[in-house]
Structure 1
Amino acid sequence: MGSPLRILHIVVNMNRGGAETLIMNLYRNIDRSKVQFDFLTCKEGVFDKEINELGGRVHRIPYINDVGHFQYIKHLNKFFNINKQYKIVHSHMDKMSGIVLRAAKKAGIPYRISHSHNTNSEGGLFAKCYKWYAGGFIKKCASDLIACSTDASNWLFGPKTVDALILKNGIDYEKFKYSTEVSKLVREELKLDQDDLIVGHVGRFCHQKNHEFLLDIFSEIIKINANSYLLLVGDGPLKTSIEKKAVQKGLLDKVKFLGLRSDINRLLQAFDVMLFPSLHEGLPVTLIEAQGAGLPCVISDVITDEVDIGANLISYGNINNPTKLWAEKVMSLKKCYKDTSSFIKDKGFDIRQTATWLQDYYMHLIPIEDNEKTTSDFQIVSYKGVQG
Structure 2
Amino acid sequence: MRILDRYIFRQLIVPVLGAVAALTAIALLSQSLSQFDLIVERGQSAWTFMRVTLLSLPQLAGLIFPIAIFVGTLIALTRLQSEHEITAVRAAGSSLMRLASPMIRIGVWFALISLVSNLFLQPLTARAMRGEMFRIRNDLISSLVKEGAFSTASSGLTIYVQRIDQNGLLRQIFIRTPEANGKDRTYVASEGKISNVDGANILIMRRGSTQQVNDSGAITNATFDETSFDVSRYFSSDDFLHYKEGDRYIHELFFPNIALDWEKGNRTKLQAEGHARLAGPLYNLTFMLLAIVAVLGGQFRRGGYGQRIAAVAGIAAVVRILGIAAETASAGSVVMNVLQYAVPIIPIVICLRLLHKRDSKRGLARSQRMSTLETLRPAA
TM-score bracket for the superposition, by shorter chain length: under 0.3
Give the TM-score of the pair, scaled to structure 2.
0.26
Task: Identify, as 1 or 2, the structure richer in helix.
Answer: 2
- TM-score, normalising length from structure 1? 0.26
